[in-house]
Structure 1
Amino acid sequence: MATNAEIAGRFEEFADLLEADDVEYKPRAYRRAAENIRAHPTPIADRVEEDDHDVLAEIEGVGDAISAKIVEYVETGSIDELEELRAELPIEIADITRIEGVGPKTAGKLYRELDIETLDDLEAAAEAGDIRSVSGFGPKTEANIRENIAFAREVGQRHLLGEGRPLADDVIDFLAGLDAVERCEVAGSIRRWRETIGDIDVLVGTDAGDDVVESFVDWGSVDSEIESGPEKASVRVGEIRVDLRVVVPEEFGSALQYFTGSKDHNVRLRNYAISRGMKLNEYGAFDVSSLPADEEGRRVGERVAGETEAEMYEALELPWIPPELREDRGEIEAAESGDLPELLTREDVRGDVHTHTEWSDGQTSIEEMVDAAEAMGYDYYGVADHAEGPGVVGGMGLSDTEILEQVEAIREVDAAREITVFAGIEANIDASGRIGLSDAVIDALDVIVASPHSGLDQDAETATSRLLRAVEDPAVDVLGHPSGRLINERSGLEFDATELGRAAADHDTALEVNSNPRRLDLWGSAVQAAIDEGASIAIDTDAHRPSTLEYMRWGVHTARRGWAEPDDVINARTLEELRAFLH
């Protein structure tokens, strides 16, 4: 069954192909529809299959024409108009536009001039020096394309966490409802909350493996069965592969530890076990300290743990290590010394200081966004619409006059509510690191988020200097989505996270974990590097509509991958503490 993300993907492809064909206006409408489809809180396909087409009228930007295409896709698995467009422009548009600086228009021009349809075609043309011969291109552009081919290939094989995890939750809900299932849990990279996943791994503890496998492959959401057997099965749901493995209940804990990974963590943990006369595998923890080897040099030993995952660590006299930390970045040493962090939880978050409204490129009013924040139980909430600047989507940034007008509107809303509403702005960081706000605007605002939106192809040294200048600006409270990356779409800026963290700590500027699942920027290792230098973190949703305030889930787990504790996060602090942090 088609997921919201899959349906949204079709309209994003529509928009890209239309733009590649130099069609105006329509691509923007399709992109807006795709964004709202992706963020819709309920599965659209389920409702359409039940002939409940009212769901389509609920989605902003989805009119009759787009509604008809959604119904066509859900019912047939394709859209005739999209197939015709693909035939006219046989470009692997999603792959090619993952190259930094190659958008749909560029892809269309390269197709018309050089007949480039695939990444292989693009790489061959770049290697041959053909791209620089096209009007508007040059050696620098050609070199950039050549250098980013590998990135485009790699990310094309993985799905966003925000697409995979909701499906994984559905799988777990289904399996947990089966009488034969005693325990079930996701494993692999999705349990470690990595930003992208290859597939979804699910583990079940049961004494009736055949029955569970049969029910799994017959699940109504399954589009196709890849393979199945007595102990495991693989299916495809939409565009995502789901792998099920069944084990006996007494081996569930050891199997969960083993299949969660990461590989590097498991290797380090097994070596740690060996040094203490223990052996770990997917079947349990075994004490081999007093046993001689058998004829083949193996020491099977006495099984001392394996029913629960916590037992596996306890057998090594270690506390349980949260899955987000299992990346071999010092977590085993920290566990041994009693220095594991008390990780932030979703319940610790008290507010969100980077969100948008219809004043710039958001979809709803200030009042509607504040209503949603109040419903989430927040103590405070920040509106930070875009200021004018290069790279701001659709040129929808606010002028100084408009910012000051919005501040007055926010003050009126704040005065009428129990929740504290901050007047903020998302300023653009230009190529040199300046934010370009007037003193009058700076003085009027409660919080200034400064983010890069253009010039994202700078080298690491230049990018680091640029971001440092923004962090050191006394007006800046939060450095927003520091790399500017879009996962699986563009790599964004490379920079020295340690140096950035040190400067952020020195100048009381928070570094953002942008919770949009297409960004997750900062990411785990960068968060850890920044926190190690004493920097504060802000976890924001960058929400453009009420439903996307729920993106906070992705940001919290990303921060946990960076060893973040509540005290590290400015929006886990009380209102008074946050006010004290803001300049």
Structure 2
Amino acid sequence: MSRNAEVASLLEEFADLLEAKDIEYKPRAYRRAAENIRGHPAAVEHLAADGEDAVKEIEGVGDAIAAKVVEYFETGGIEELDDLRNELPVDMAALTSVEGVGPKTVGTLYDALGITTLDELGAAAENGEIQEISGFGEKTEENIREGIEFAREAHERELLGEARPYGDRVRDFLSGVDAAAEVELAGSIRRWRPTIGDVDVLVGSDDADAVVSAFADWEAADMVIEAGESKASLRVDDFRIDLRVVAENEFGAALQYFTGSKDHNVTLRNRAIDRDLKMNEYGIFDVSEVENSDSGQRVGERVGGTTEDEMYDALDLDWIPPELREDRGEIAAAADGALPDLLEIGDVCGDLHTHTEWSDGGNTIREMAEGAAALGHDYLAITDHATGPGMVGGVGLSDADLREQIEAIRAVDDEVEVDLFAGVEANVGADGSVSVADDVLDALDVVVAAPHAGLDGDGTDRLVTAVEHPEVDVLGHPTGRMLNQRDGLDVDIERLAGAAADAGVALEVNSDPRRLDLQGSLVKPAVEAGASIAIDTDAHQPGTLEYVRYGVHTARRGWAEADDVVNARGADGVREFLGL
């Protein structure tokens, strides 16, 4: 696995610190470079090994940034970044997780009050100190105070999209250890929850010492937190990775147990008790002839536990996919043989929401099309931002720009492997209006309407009005939530989905790991109300088209099947949906 995300995060931190010091221009350059490195198909560590010129092949990476990337891989650090950290010793990620607090605000708060942590920010807000700073005031202080609790909770959990690559990386490493017979991720990361605590990995082995030793010696680790006989924990960058080694013949039981969720497992254990069975991390046991089933963990006759299938089969249940294990009816469905035939990543045939350099993307129309073809897509919609409230400042397209872009998309469409659709991401106003003229919308193939401002309170009326617009095809990131930053709009999902179904509009599962919106718990009632789902990446460069996997697993958490998803259809099926 490449280290692109790791380097991108460092450059984003660089940008935040520069912005906090009120340095102009450079932060935008660092953020663009970070975004392009994150989505670049080649591993940045391999480019760095070939020197600065190789790193500069990445769009938006100039001499200065390329030199810093090479320095990082040669020395393990970036001297200028360390200097900035020393000049501004703040917990930037935690402080900026408070809605309305950006890097510049962090810099101002540090200069005025010496605030470096979330706790210090909370204390200052409670004591009325923030409103005394020039340019802040009582309302700003109140907003910060109200956002502290959410930020504290958010800061304790990592985004799935940031943690999952580390999980994949450690799983791949341990799979290469001779003593490891079985390796799988566990916990919330295996259930593809949108945020997670630590990265949990489970190994089945009859030589735990060898596995723990190899894990503790992993070259990617920054620090060994602890290492015991069958457990160990490492720190890799900002992530804690916890290893547990179990006996090979108990791997299935342990995997089921440590995947969770707690509520799912409690309901399973109660079902086991009703059948005179004892279920735990060591297996499932028939205790019908045992006088005291609490006398030990492995009492009774063992009837399963080598595989997860055995654990569920012993309870007369079909195996339940990890994404469904939240005690939301999946156990009853498994008992009735009524589990959904969940959507698979290979079912997705294209993407209906992407961006190019025409607005705030990093690549050309052709490069995005080639990226989609390389991923195996049959079609791609180019949906750059239109102008409108809350849209990216200064880079949204006017109606005239959109007409010009349609022609540019048509020209590229004749020369690439994938079918291209000309579209737009229009803003949904506070009244539900769409920020592009109707005649321009009519000329486009795909209209994604999405809210970008005023993202609090009940948004149901606003969003229903938007989906009822005759030219809208997809309601993009419907609640506008940003994970670990803001909750987004409240919606009556049954009413919204019903309106979308009546209007023939798809509700989007935005696959950007910062969004995952609609969330899984809203997908299920949306589908039950008859709405179609579109799984889109909102990609701003070819590499982030691969975010589709996060959208697929989010939709699976909402019990979505391929028939529920618009872009699980081929190009002709999507044309029919779009009325083309």
TM-score by length of 1: 0.94
Q: 1:79 to 1:490 in 2, by over 3 A?
A: farther
Alignment of 1:150-169 (within 5 A): 150-169=149-168
Tell me by how many angstroms 1:388 deviates. Answer: 0.7
> Which amino acid is the alignment partner of residue 401 of structure 1?
A
Tell me by how many angstroms 1:215 deviates. Answer: 1.5
Q: 1:21 to 1:222 in 2, by over 3 A?
A: closer
Alignment of 1:104-123 (within 5 A): 104-123=103-122
Question: Comparing 305-314 with 201-210, which one deviates more in the overlay?
Answer: 201-210
Corresponding position: 1:469 with 2:468: no
Corresponding position: 1:7 with 2:4: no
Which residue is 1:567 aligned to? 563
Which residue is 2:499 aligned to? 503
Ranges in structure 1 where 5+ consecutive residues have no aligned partner: none
Tell me by how many angstroms 1:54 deviates. Answer: 5.0
Cα separation, 1, equivalents of 2:416 and 2:39 = 27
SS in 2 for 1:181: coil
The CA deviation string for residues 453-472 of structure 1, in whole angstroms up to 9 with x for no partner, is: 2222x22x2x2322222122
The CA deviation string for residues 108-156 of structure 1, in whole angstroms up to 9 with x for no partner, is: 3333344433222221222233333444434443332212112211222
Cα separation, 2, equivalents of 1:447 and 1:568 = 19
Tell me by how many angstroms 1:331 deviates. Answer: 0.8
Alignment of 1:16-27 (within 5 A): 16-27=16-27
How many pairs were matched up?
579
Cα separation, 1, equivalents of 2:3 and 2:294 = 54
Q: 1:309 to 1:295 in 2, by over 3 A?
A: closer
- Answer whether contact 2:293 2:300 (CA < 8 A) is retained: no
Cα separation, 2, equivalents of 1:314 and 1:155 = 37
Q: 1:176 to 1:298 in 2, by over 3 A?
A: closer
Cα separation, 1, equivalents of 2:288 and 2:40 = 56
Corresponding position: 1:262 with 2:261: yes
Tell me by how many angstroms 1:42 deviates. Answer: 4.4
- Answer whether contact 1:33 1:61 (CA < 8 A) is retained: yes
Q: 1:26 to 1:274 in 2, by over 3 A?
A: same
- Answer whether contact 2:283 2:298 (CA < 8 A) is retained: no
Q: 1:145 to 1:516 in 2, by over 3 A?
A: same
- Answer whether contact 1:44 1:55 (CA < 8 A) is retained: no
SS in 1 for 2:147: helix
Tell me by how many angstroms 1:33 deviates. Answer: 1.3
Cα separation, 2, equivalents of 1:392 and 1:332 = 43
Question: Comparing 361-370 with 294-303, which one deviates more in the overlay?
Answer: 294-303
Which residue is 2:542 aligned to? 546
Cα separation, 2, equivalents of 1:541 and 1:292 = 56
SS in 2 for 1:327: coil
The CA deviation string for residues 216-259 of structure 1, in whole angstroms up to 9 with x for no partner, is: 21122222211112212111222212111111111111011011
Cα separation, 1, equivalents of 2:134 and 2:201 = 51
Question: Comparing 464-473 with 301-310, which one deviates more in the overlay?
Answer: 464-473
Tell me by how many angstroms 1:417 deviates. Answer: 4.5
Q: 1:294 to 1:477 in 2, by over 3 A?
A: closer
> Which amino acid is the alignment partner of residue 572 of structure 2?
E
Q: 1:267 to 1:145 in 2, by over 3 A?
A: same
Which residue is 1:183 aligned to? 182
Q: 1:22 to 1:286 in 2, by over 3 A?
A: same
Alignment of 1:111-510 (within 5 A): 111-293=110-292, 300-417=299-416, 419-456=418-455, 458-459=456-457, 461=458, 463-510=459-506
Q: 1:103 to 1:576 in 2, by over 3 A?
A: same
Q: 1:242 to 1:114 in 2, by over 3 A?
A: closer
Cα separation, 1, equivalents of 2:485 and 2:60 = 23
Tell me by how many angstroms 1:568 deviates. Answer: 0.7
Cα separation, 1, equivalents of 2:80 and 2:418 = 47
Cα separation, 2, equivalents of 1:504 and 1:437 = 20
> Which amino acid is the alignment partner of residue 461 of structure 2?
S
Ranges in structure 2 where 5+ consecutive residues have no aligned partner: none
Alignment of 1:57-76 (within 5 A): 57-76=56-75
- Answer whether contact 1:3 1:238 (CA < 8 A) is retained: no
Cα separation, 1, equivalents of 2:297 and 2:69 = 59
SS in 2 for 1:393: coil
Question: Comparing 250-259 with 209-218, which one deviates more in the overlay?
Answer: 209-218
Cα separation, 1, equivalents of 2:140 and 2:399 = 35
The CA deviation string for residues 426-465 of structure 1, in whole angstroms up to 9 with x for no partner, is: 0011222211211220110111001122222x22x2x232
Question: Comparing 68-77 with 400-409, which one deviates more in the overlay?
Answer: 68-77
Q: 1:432 to 1:294 in 2, by over 3 A?
A: closer
SS in 2 for 1:189: helix
The CA deviation string for residues 456-489 of structure 1, in whole angstroms up to 9 with x for no partner, is: 2x22x2x232222212222211111122233233
- Answer whether contact 2:20 2:107 (CA < 8 A) is retained: yes
Q: 1:258 to 1:393 in 2, by over 3 A?
A: same
Q: 1:528 to 1:404 in 2, by over 3 A?
A: same
SS in 1 for 2:423: strand
The CA deviation string for residues 300-348 of structure 1, in whole angstroms up to 9 with x for no partner, is: 3211000110110000010000001111111111111222110000111
- Answer whether contact 2:40 2:542 (CA < 8 A) is retained: no
The CA deviation string for residues 413-434 of structure 1, in whole angstroms up to 9 with x for no partner, is: 2344553211110001122221
- Answer whether contact 2:497 2:526 (CA < 8 A) is retained: yes
- Answer whether contact 1:291 1:299 (CA < 8 A) is retained: no
SS in 1 for 2:353: strand
> Which amino acid is the alignment partner of residue 172 of structure 1?
R
TM-score by length of 2: 0.94
Q: Among the aligned pairs, what percent are the same residue?
A: 63
> Which amino acid is the alignment partner of residue 484 of structure 2?
N
Cα separation, 2, equivalents of 1:47 and 1:268 = 51
Cα separation, 2, equivalents of 1:513 and 1:307 = 36
Cα separation, 1, equivalents of 2:285 and 2:296 = 16
Cα separation, 2, equivalents of 1:519 and 1:155 = 14
The CA deviation string for residues 252-307 of structure 1, in whole angstroms up to 9 with x for no partner, is: 11011011111111111111211222111000011123432269599932110001
SS in 1 for 2:383: strand
Which residue is 1:30 aligned to? 30
- Answer whether contact 1:288 1:299 (CA < 8 A) is retained: no
Q: 1:436 to 1:22 in 2, by over 3 A?
A: same
Cα separation, 1, equivalents of 2:153 and 2:58 = 33
SS in 2 for 1:256: helix
SS in 2 for 1:355: coil
Question: Comparing 70-79 with 192-201, which one deviates more in the overlay?
Answer: 70-79
Corresponding position: 1:524 with 2:523: no
Q: Which runs of 4+ in 1 moved over 6 A?
A: none
> Which amino acid is the alignment partner of residue 227 of structure 1?
E
